[in-house]
């Protein structure tokens, strides 16, 4: 059981939850503060966390099942759990169902709007895994999907949309799409050989890096818009300054003729960025209000 658990956690890259979970908390905190001038309850944070775990686990499980044949052909991914034979598709499908059950139950403990919006979330979580078969905009679809984390956190505690929530959604969506483009650069030749679509395979590594930078400029602008829309103060601005330095450094690490530092740019820098932005936002809310 312990060995299987470790394999499942590795399959879904559980540690990458750090990319989106802090932003889900950020959406919950800002939603509660903007609408009620209070922090979300611990119960709300618990159910947001469980919903995030369920959604991400289901999405990653689906991606591994759908892409099993492709992963088996790619030397970089051939040792993933399904193509390597560590897990069967049946086991992963059971895991996916259990993850969706967790998502549904957690959403039901929050508010009715969360439940009504679940079909949209489930559609995007499922649809993304197929997009690289027919469009190089697959990175944008991934961004729009994972961007639901902060939007979902906001709706979870407020039961409503807000323009500030949409600014946060845009910031995270373009951030995710941008660094997914960077990550896809390492598979550009394989994608072309298999007829798979991505921005790097369409525009080349140099063009892909330029598009990723443009996406992250949109992220920076959306975070500035959120500053005004959510009436945040200088602690938040300081956090943005640190985040922008991280983004700049991330792009400095990846060059068209040198992708050796891609993992540092993708895993380390992005994990730090999400924690930094959430932490400074939380301090801003606690200190100023």
Which pLDDT score is estimated for 15?
66
Neighbours of 288 (CB within 10 A): 13
Portion of the chain with pLDDT greater than 90, in percent: 77
Cβ partners under 8 Å of residue 280, min gap 6: 235, 236, 238, 239, 240, 242
Collapsing DSSP to helix, strand or coil, 44 comes out as helix
Beta bridge partners of 258: 255
Portion of the chain with pLDDT greater than 70, in percent: 97
Which pLDDT score is estimated for 265?
65
Beta carbons of 150 and 165 less than 8 angstroms apart = yes
Collapsing DSSP to helix, strand or coil, 49 comes out as helix
The pTM score is 0.93
Which pLDDT score is estimated for 269?
80
pLDDT, one tens digit per residue, over 109-138 is 999 999 999 999 999 989 999 999 999 999
In order of their start, the domains of the chain are: 15-288 (1.10.357.140)
Average pLDDT over residues 68-79: 92
Counting Cα atoms < 13 Å in the Cβ hemisphere of 169 gives: 16
- Enter the tokens of residue 83: 């193509």
Average pLDDT over residues 151-155: 95
Average pLDDT over residues 45-63: 93
Q: Evaluate if residue 2 carries a pLDDT over 80.
A: no
Which pLDDT score is estimated for 37?
86
Q: Evaluate if residue 286 carries a pLDDT over 70.
A: yes
Beta carbons of 224 and 239 less than 8 angstroms apart = no
Neighbours of 101 (CB within 10 A): 12
Residue-wise burial string across 177-205, b where 16 or more C-beta atoms lie within 10 A, e elsewhere? bbbbbbbbbbbbebbeeeebbbbbbbbeb
Q: Which helix (H) or strand (E) holds 33?
A: helix 17-36
Q: What's the 3-state SS for 240-262?
A: HHHHHHHHHHHHHHCECCECCCH
d(CA 93, CA 118): 19
Q: Evaluate if residue 6 carries a pLDDT over 90.
A: no
Closest CA to 104 of 149, 154, 63, 53: 53
| Phi (first) and psi of residue 159, to 5 degrees | 70, 20
pLDDT, one tens digit per residue, over 160-180 is 889 999 999 999 999 999 999
Beta bridge partners of 255: 258
**DSSP per-residue string spanning 133-182:** TT-TTHHHHHHHHHTHHHHHHHHHHHSS--HHHHHHHHHHHHHHHHHHHH
Q: Evaluate if residue 187 carries a pLDDT over 90.
A: yes
Average pLDDT over residues 239-262: 89
Which pLDDT score is estimated for 254?
86
Mean pLDDT of the chain: 92
Beta carbons of 39 and 29 less than 8 angstroms apart = yes
- 255 vs 221 pLDDT, higher one: 221
Q: Evaluate if residue 43 carries a pLDDT over 90.
A: yes
- Enter the tokens of residue 36: 């009620």
Confidence of residue 271 (pLDDT cuts 50, 70, 90): confident
Question: The tokens 């686990």 sit on which residue?
Answer: 57
């Amino acid at each position: 059981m312990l060995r299987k658990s470790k394999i499942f956690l590795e399959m879904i890259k559980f540690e990458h939850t750090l990319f989106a979970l802090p932003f889900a908390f950020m959406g919950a905190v800002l939603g509660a503060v903007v609408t009620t001038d209070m922090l979300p309850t611990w119960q709300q944070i618990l159910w947001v966390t469980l919903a995030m775990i369920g959604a991400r686990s289901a999405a990653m499980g689906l991606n591994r099942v759908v892409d099993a044949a492709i992963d088996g052909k790619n030397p970089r991914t051939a040792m993933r759990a399904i193509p390597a034979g560590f897990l069967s598709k049946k086991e992963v499908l059971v895991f996916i169902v259990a993850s969706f059950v967790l998502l549904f139950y957690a959403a039901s403990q929050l508010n009715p709007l969360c439940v009504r919006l679940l079909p949209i979330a489930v559609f995007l979580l499922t649809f993304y895994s197929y997009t690289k078969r027919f469009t190089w905009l697959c990175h944008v679809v991934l961004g729009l999907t994972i961007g639901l984390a902060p939007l979902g956190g906001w709706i979870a505690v407020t039961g409503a949309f807000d323009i500030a929530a949409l600014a946060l959604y845009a910031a995270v969506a373009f951030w995710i799409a941008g660094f997914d483009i960077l990550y896809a650069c390492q598979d550009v030749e394989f994608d072309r050989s298999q007829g798979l679509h991505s921005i790097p395979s369409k525009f080349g590594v140099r063009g892909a890096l330029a598009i990723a930078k443009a996406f992250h400029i949109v992220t920076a602008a959306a975070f500035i818009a959120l500053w005004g829309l959510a009436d945040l103060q200088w602690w938040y601005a300081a956090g943005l300054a640190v985040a922008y330095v991280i983004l700049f450094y991330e792009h400095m690490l990846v060059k068209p003729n040198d992708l050796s530092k891609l993992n540092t740019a993708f895993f380390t820098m992005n994990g730090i960025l999400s924690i930094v932005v959430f932490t400074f936002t939380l301090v801003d809310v606690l200190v100023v209000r």
